[in-house]
Amino acid sequence: MGGNILQAMADGVEKADVILMCFSRKYKGSACCQAEANRAFQLGKPIIPVKLEEDYDADGWLGMVAPMAMYIKAYSDDVLEKNWSQLLRELERVGR
């Protein structure tokens, strides 16, 4: 990305049509990820949450930013493969 990481992240969010938010405990604990998610939320960008840990449900600020009722499960290769078509449909739906 080069230069200022936060500026590069903001540019990416601002240019995106859809935000694919792959979340985990580490994601929630990252100040940069929180800033990126908050910027997407402020801009009203469609967010598709992708759950990367089976035993983690988003809480705190993360639970408020992303529509967790419709997250895509992807915490293993098998689970992602099973849900791949759901992810593609959701990307198509919100990316219009």
pLDDT of residue 96: 64
Helix (H, G, I), strand (E, B) or coil at 89: helix
Low-confidence ranges of the chain (pLDDT < 70): 1-3, 68-69, 96
Cβ atoms of 42 and 69 within 8 Å: the answer is no
- The residue with tokens 């600020």 is 61
pLDDT of residue 71: 86
pLDDT of residue 66: 77
Cβ atoms of 91 and 18 within 8 Å: the answer is yes
Give the model confidence (pLDDT) of 44-63 as tens digits: 999 999 999 999 988 899 98
pLDDT of residue 6: 86
